[in-house]
Each structure stands twice: as structure tokens, then as C-alpha cells.
Amino acid sequence: MMAKMKWLAAASVILVAAALGLTDWFHRMTFPRPARVDVIIKTNSNTDAMEFWQVLVDGVHVAAEEFRVDVRVSGPRTEADVDVQIVMVEDAIESRPDAIVLAATDFDRLVPVAQKIVDRGIKLIILDSGINADIAHSTVQTDNVAAGNKAGRVMQEYLQGPAKIAIISFVKNAASHLDREKGVREVLEGDPRVVQLDTYSVDGSEQNAYAKVMEILRNDPGVTGVIGLNEGTTVGAGRAIRELGLKDRVTLVGFDNSLEEIKFLEEGVLKATVIQRPFSMGYLSIKTAAEVISGKKVPRTIDTGSLVITRKNMYEEENQKLLFPFVNS
């Protein structure tokens, strides 16, 4: 009798263990491990990151939770740190994530390491700023040439007589800036009122943008227009124009919608800014990565759009939602 009871107890243990094992197997089959995605942006410094990137990363995390993706976000201290970003991509490849989302700091120099991502069988999603190779599964970004066209057309509205215009580029060879400059030039180079259209690169520094615009406006009073190609250049230029008391003589057109840029709009220092949708950009990059990982077909290019905001239209309800995406109405 005792032996029979021991046998029954042992059998029960085996059955329970088998059941637990089956349950664990069923759980793994039903709820597979979350996909792993490395997101490597242009700058991720707590002190130097512009609001654009902070909002974009918020979109990344919201999508990661919704689509059950484990994300790791990294980036160099400044957008000019191309070599640092290349090393970060190399490290990400070695960790074998399911996908890498990359906002490239340089149009040409990121191509070899991006090719390595694809060669290792890792899905590649390009975010915000592209590379000189058509190898990504999808690209999520603003149509930057079209956005540059918009900035150029706004500048045209303020041109009076022979005009000298300075274009301020944050980094020399980032695709987003190259395309925006191209868009601006498509509009302004054909305008007979524009007698000078020069581009200045400021090595990824708002302070450098401020110093460069101060130098330009002090040395050449004939410059009556400045176009900043991103948040950092627009804020730096705005600081210079305000400090010199030239808001009524120099037209500033910029990009993005940081709190400082909104303040410049209200003051009349900034005449217009072409805003992007960084939250949507971050969100859609993770959504697209999750879909690619699961085998779904995705668009090769996803344009998240852009919109011109001025002091006249900034208080419209729909524009307020874009300018302040996290404020409850």
C-alpha cells in the first residue's frame, strides 16, 4: 500500500511538471519574446539634445509599449560626432537586435556600416535623415526638399529689392540638411531679387550658429534674410538677431518648434518656421520596425509631413496641437 502511494505521488509530480512544462511552452508560443530594436539617433545628450529629438524619443517609447518592442535608444553627444555614431552602430550590430533604426549623422560615411547591418540579417529602418544607398527596408522622415521649398517661398514673401540671404546648416553632410538646402535653393535661385545666397555650416552647435550669424550681420549690413535649417540654427540665429535689434530688418525663417522658437515667433524675431512631426516620426519608426520583423510588407518611404507656422496662424487650434503635442486640450 505504501509503495502504491509513493508511486502515485511520483506520478502526480511528473504530471504536474509536465503540465507546467506544457504551460510554459504554450506561453512561449503564444507570447514570444519581444522584438529588440536599437534606435540610434543623431544626438542623445541630456544637456545638448534639442527638443526635436526629445519629442521623437517620446514617440519611440509610446510605440515600443504599444507594439511590445524592447528598445534601446542611443546617440552621440552632438550631431557632428559622426565617428562616435559609427562606433555605436558597430556595437549595436554585435548585440544582434532584430532591427536597427538609424538617423544618420552623415549621408556618405554611414553607408558602409549601414550595409553591414543588412548583411548581418538585421532589419534596417532609416529615420529622419537618410544615407547614400537604397538598402533600408523603409525610411521614415519629412520630405525635406518639399519642406525646404516651403521655407524658400516664405522668404520670398519678405523680399524687397536686391536681397542677400544666408542659409545656416547645422551639420555639413546630413541628408536632411542637404535636402532642405536643395529645396530652398530650388525656390530662391530662380528669383531675380536674390543677388547672394550663401550656405554656412556650424558643426552641430547652436552657439556656433549664434556666433556665425552675429559675424555675418555685423560684417555685411546688406544681408536681409537668414534661413535656419533646423532647431539649433534657428535658435542661434534668433538669439543673434534679437541681440542686435534687427528683427525689423532681417527676416528669419526656420525649422522645428522648440519653446524658444515659439517665443521668437511671438516676439516677431522669427517670421515663420517649418515644423515637422517628430513624435509621429519616432512612433512610426518603431511601428514600421515591428511590422518588418513580423514579415509584413511596409512602404519604402513614409513622409510624416511638414507645415509652415507663423505668428498669424500659430494660435489656431489644430496648430496648437502640433506645437504643444503633450498639452491636454
Answer whether residue 307 is part of any domain. Answer: no
3 state SS of 223:
strand
Dump strand ranges (E) for 123-186.
123-127, 138-141, 163-169
Count of C-beta atoms within a 10 Å radius of residue 22: 10
149 and 240 assigned to the same domain: yes
From CA 132, how far away is CA 12, in angstroms rounded? 64
Position 315 scores a pLDDT of 83
Residue 1 has pLDDT above 90, yes or no: no
Tens of pLDDT, residues 196-244: 999 999 999 999 999 999 999 999 999 999 999 999 999 999 999 999 9
Domain count, the chain: 2
Residue 40 has pLDDT above 70, yes or no: yes
Answer whether residue 328 is part of any domain. Answer: no
What is the pLDDT of the chain when averaged over all its residues? 89
What is the pTM (predicted TM-score) of this model? 0.84
Range scoring the smallest mean pLDDT among 17-26, 28-37, 76-85, 305-314: 17-26
Alpha carbon distances (Å) from 70 to 34, 39, 60: 6, 10, 10
216 and 232 assigned to the same domain: yes
From CA 185, how far away is CA 135, in angstroms rounded? 28
166 and 200 assigned to the same domain: yes
163 and 238 assigned to the same domain: yes
203 and 112 assigned to the same domain: no
From CA 223, how far away is CA 216, in angstroms rounded? 8
CATH code, domain with 77? 3.40.50.2300
Answer whether residue 88 is part of any domain. Answer: yes
Position 33 scores a pLDDT of 78
Residue 122 has pLDDT above 60, yes or no: yes
State how far Cα 40 lies from the chain centre. 10
271 and 165 assigned to the same domain: yes
Range scoring the smallest mean pLDDT among 47-51, 67-71, 144-148, 278-282: 47-51
Domain of residue 150, residue span: 144-275
155 and 137 assigned to the same domain: no
Answer whether residue 318 is part of any domain. Answer: no
Answer whether residue 26 is part of any domain. Answer: no
Residue 300 C-alpha cell reads as 519604402
What's the mean pLDDT in 148-165? 95
56 and 150 assigned to the same domain: no
